Amino acid sequence: MPFQLHLWPSANSPNSKLALDSGGMPTPALWDRCSIHGLLYPGVLSYVQCRRSLVGGRHEGSAESFAPTVKLRRESFDGVKVNIYLPPSVGQSDLLPGFIYLHGGGLAFGDVGIYDGMTRQISEQLNAVVISIAYRRTPENIFPVPYEDSLRAARWFLQNSDQYGVDPRRVAIGGDSAGGYLSAVVSQAIHDEAETPDFRLQVLIYPWTQMLDFKTPSYQQHPDDYLTTGAMAWYTALHLFGENISPQIMNTLATNNHTSDEFRNSAIFREALSHSLVPPDMRPPATYTPPSEGDSVSEFGVHLWAESKDILMDPTACPILRADMSGLPTAYIVTVEVDPLRDDGIMYAKRLEQAGVDVTWRHYENGFHGIWWRGPWFIFEDGREIFREMIDFVKPRL
């Protein structure tokens, strides 16, 4: 069954030209409007700025038709800008639940304005106060800035939620892609803070949980689909090095040549990133080659590992490496088939499950990376299904 696409705001809008091809997939013009496709080099850094100037924030408030009764306020929590979405019932009686949302976009793209329609719908459907965090992005702000911004804003809200009519014991955190990464690491950090209420739930939509293995089964199966291996290498490089990246760095990451032999043989690598965590039917021999003991790292790869290993080994950069997952909040994890990050979500779910965390994993065979939300320009029917099932899971538990 091909993906179904609903253009927004109408079929007569200029966006209606950005349609599907005969195979049911978006045309190159549509991809160009919404994503980075392929292996990108430092020359495209100006493209980041160009795209932000064109789409950044422009749609904030323009998606009110998704949830017209939800009110928007803009504030700062501990110096971090946020959008606050208030359902009509706020302040009328009992305290409401809360939901902190962290948007996707590889930590370089996306913003709270582009996600305005999604966060409005979450507020309306859950009858919850939603906080959408405008964390600073790469390449201007490299690791750990996006994480630290997200943590500061989330912590402040949890400690002051009564000001917004929210019960601090009924707050979830969630996000998609890079926002799923941020949700996972912020959830871990808050769990470790005795003075801050823990989250009730974590909702991770095709999360990015590691930057250490670009040869997982899903990376091997989907290297050149919508979200490519090259694009993930580029996002990783921006996160680690900002503007100081080169074609050699890009190629070293994309070819999985950026760690060390010692690390690949370490206990933590074998435990946290074992391909055996991925179900066997998702490792078909036709598309999957298991790691080989003979794989070696290039001289430049050794140098790159020396420069980046302290970050890459940090669980706040790669949450799948956290040693003790026990006690973390109940997790709802979504993966989609056409996605190199599919196994990031699967392996993280398995790691949580092994530690005794209550995990619900939902996998969508017809899904591709980005189907959850690509801004108010168009809506995928399968993305609506993912959204509805997420709401059905979260609402009775929050």
State the catalytic residues.
Answer: 177, 339, 369
Q: What pairs with residue 102 in β-bridges?
A: 175
What does the block give as tokens for 251?
């190629």
CA 384/CA 389 separation, integer angstroms: 9
The alpha carbon of residue 356 and the mean position of all alpha carbons in its chain are separated, in whole angstroms, by 23
Report the amino acid identity of residue 219: Y
Please write down the long-range contacts of 10-19, taking CB distance under 8 Å and 24 or more positions apart.
15/377, 15/378, 18/377, 18/378
What does the block give as tokens for 269?
């690598």
Q: CA angle 356-176-360, nearest 5°?
A: 30
Length of the chain equals: 398
197: which DSSP letter? P
Of 200, 223, 236, 192, residue with least CA distance to 329: 200
Half-sphere exposure of 77 (CA within 13 A, CB side): 26
Contact predicate 104/53, CB 8 Å: no
Handedness of CA 375, 376, 378, 382 (dihedral sign): positive
83 φ, ψ to 5°?
A: -100, 135
Contact predicate 218/329, CB 8 Å: no
